[in-house]
Amino acid sequence: MRKDFYWKSGLIVIVTLVSVLFAYPLKEKIHLGLDLQGGMHLVLDVEAEKAVESTLDRYVMNLRDAFKKDTIESVSVERDKDSIVINHKNSAKVNDIEKIVSDITDMEKVSSSSDTMKTAYQIPGKRKKYIEERAVDQGLETIRNRVDQFGVAEPSIQRQGDRRIIIQLPGIKDTERAVQLIGKTARLEFRLVDDKHEVEDALKGTIPEGDEILHQRVTNVSTGEVSKKPFLLKKEVMMTGDSLTNAEVRIDSRYNEPYVSIEFDKSGSKLFGNITKENVKKRLAIVLDNNVYSAPVIQEEISGGRAQITGYFTPEDAHDLAIVLRAGALPAPVKILENRTVGPSLGKDSIEMGLKSVFISGMAILIFMIFYYRISGLIADISLFLNLILLAGAMAYFKATLTLPGIAGIILTVGMAVDANILIFERIREELLLGKTVRSAIDSGFKRAFLTIVDSNVTTLIAAVVLFQFGTGPIKGFAVTLSIGIAASMFTSVFVSRFIFDILINKMKVEKLSI
């Protein structure tokens, strides 16, 4: 008994101290869910068909480059809604054109006219569905990366149906900023400014072919007034942000203003170097989601794989821009279908009522156990108190989120922990009535009740695992607290209670059990 006493008492003390250390201070360690502390609930619709259109646009650019490289002249490539139309005037080059299309795209021919010398291609149905599915999955991952870098504690981001994404951000204060960060497509483009034509003439309606007008938002530092500065840009995209490896906020030492420093990978660095080398003294516009951020003049070749995005940034704007660039562009735009803000007053009321219900139910159980089982009931109360300490410590360690259903899980755990003790106590009573000694009755009571306790707890644990796997945020909170509570109650009800009974029998030499 002496050896058992030392290692068992040591284990109980260590587990208790570790739980207290993890849980203290409780308010800072356990995060509250959306239903308790308020926050934002968003339902997004991923416009997956736009990802197919982007794929077609990329094919158009690749085909034009391939035809130019292979010196296939008199060929025009245009996108017509969900297809690509190739106009070829030289019939002798038809086979060469089809080979290039087959090599660099996965499209199939849908129509061909020898009279007009036009051939139309489309993306096959299965491939189109795959692109749309991947767009939703990539959108989910991109949004998750943005939210994580934004610094929201315990967000819930999950897919619903074919193309919807549900986002819950507990405790978020600046909801407008969060919406802008999440919903920004973040398609970064580098395009040349058309300096051969006047932007004023283009604004009057005479936009040169191959050009378009985009604007830069300019904020007056003194008044805070926002105006738009027009730019006449080439439609051709020289480079996109796909090859970005990093984006960080820096401070300009001369003007003490923030800017975003970006870095490219090896291939992107080479491409950016070639673009700047071939366009010295021209203006290269940096465009994000059709908004011009800056259009500096290229003074010389930039070969280091680095560039700067300057503009009229506040520190928050620069920080958010760096986040979306690091996390990557959304493969398709998202539309906000639902935007609800849960007020903190609901959370405060819920917490107060939940804690009150835990306290009242806990006190009622404590009093009943002492009244009905006397000293043995007191042992059960000690185990129950320790069970709550272990539960709090485990939730803090796993950074679990406490939700309103989670509080219900705690209450259920309290009931199950007491139920295990009741099974043991009733078994001990039966053994005592049969005339067994106190030691023998306790041994038999714990041994016979053990399998019943394990069976009931395991079946409940299986249900909790299923709820966690397939449930949404609040339901997961219930499953988490229930699962941790079951594990804790198994330890306290069987191990701790038995240890205390052993002390009574072996150390205190109790001959008559108060049960």
Amino acid letter at 88?
A: H
174 assigned to some structural domain: no
User: Model's pTM, two decimal places?
Assistant: 0.67
pLDDT of 116 reads: 66
Domain region containing 238: 184-327
Say whether pLDDT at 1 is over 60. Answer: no
Cα separation, 293 vs 288, in Å, equals 7
pLDDT tens sequence across 13-55 = 999 999 999 888 877 777 777 777 778 889 999 999 999 988 8
Under the banding of pLDDT at 50, 70 and 90, the label for residue 213 is very high
Contact 513, 438 (CB under 8 A): yes
Q: List Cα–Cα distances, 152 to 22, 33, 34, 110, 147, in angstroms.
A: 21, 12, 12, 48, 6
Least confidently predicted of 14-18, 196-200, 449-453: 449-453
Whether residues 33 and 58 fall in one domain = no
484 assigned to some structural domain: yes
Q: How many CA atoms lie within 13 A of 59 on its CB side?
A: 27
pLDDT of 255 reads: 79
| Residue from 406, 441, 498 nearest 31 by CA | 406
pLDDT of 107 reads: 92
Whether residues 501 and 355 fall in one domain = yes
Whole-number average pLDDT of the chain = 86
Question: 282: domain CATH number?
Answer: 3.30.1360.200
Q: List Cα–Cα distances, 174 to 39, 44, 152, 171, 248, in angstroms.
A: 10, 18, 11, 10, 22
pLDDT of 472 reads: 65
Domain boundary, last residue among 106, 125, 144: 125
pLDDT tens sequence across 218-264 = 877 677 788 899 999 998 888 888 888 999 999 988 878 899 999 99
Whether residues 354 and 487 fall in one domain = yes
- To the nearest 10°, report the CA torsion of 124, 127, 129, 135: -130
Under the banding of pLDDT at 50, 70 and 90, the label for residue 467 is confident
pLDDT tens sequence across 430-442 = 888 888 888 898 9
Number of residues written out for the chain: 515
Whether residues 286 and 386 fall in one domain = no
Cα separation, 64 vs 72, in Å, equals 10
pLDDT of 473 reads: 62
pLDDT of 121 reads: 93
142 assigned to some structural domain: no
Whether residues 490 and 470 fall in one domain = yes
Whether residues 468 and 368 fall in one domain = yes
Cα separation, 90 vs 142, in Å, equals 45
146 assigned to some structural domain: no
Cβ neighbours of 195 (radius 10 Å): 12
Q: List Cα–Cα distances, 278 to 274, 302, 307, 352, 513, in angstroms.
A: 6, 11, 16, 67, 94
Domain boundary, last residue among 327, 360, 393: 327
Q: List Cα–Cα distances, 242 to 303, 370, 446, in angstroms.
A: 18, 68, 64
347 assigned to some structural domain: yes
pLDDT of 344 reads: 63
Cα separation, 122 vs 79, in Å, equals 10
- To the nearest 10°, report the CA torsion of 56, 61, 66, 68: 140
Angle separating helix axes 473-490 and 375-397, nearest 10 degrees? 130
Whether residues 191 and 322 fall in one domain = yes
Q: Among 75-89, 114-128, 186-200, which range has the highest average pLDDT?
A: 186-200
Contact 175, 40 (CB under 8 A): yes
Cα separation, 272 vs 49, in Å, equals 30
Least confidently predicted of 3-7, 188-192, 274-278: 3-7
Whether residues 112 and 204 fall in one domain = no
Average confidence (pLDDT) over 198-212: 90
| Residue from 381, 394, 378, 382 nearest 15 by CA | 394
pLDDT tens sequence across 138-150 = 899 899 888 888 7
Whether residues 322 and 351 fall in one domain = no
210 assigned to some structural domain: yes
Strand pairing class (39-46; 164-170)? antiparallel
Whether residues 396 and 461 fall in one domain = yes
Stronger pLDDT, 376 or 351, i.e. the higher one = 376
Cα separation, 307 vs 300, in Å, equals 13
Stronger pLDDT, 29 or 486, i.e. the higher one = 486
Whether residues 99 and 229 fall in one domain = no
pLDDT of 475 reads: 77
Contact 82, 52 (CB under 8 A): yes
pLDDT tens sequence across 90-128 = 766 788 888 899 988 989 998 887 766 788 999 999 999
Whether residues 242 and 298 fall in one domain = yes
Amino acid letter at 216?
A: Q
411 assigned to some structural domain: yes
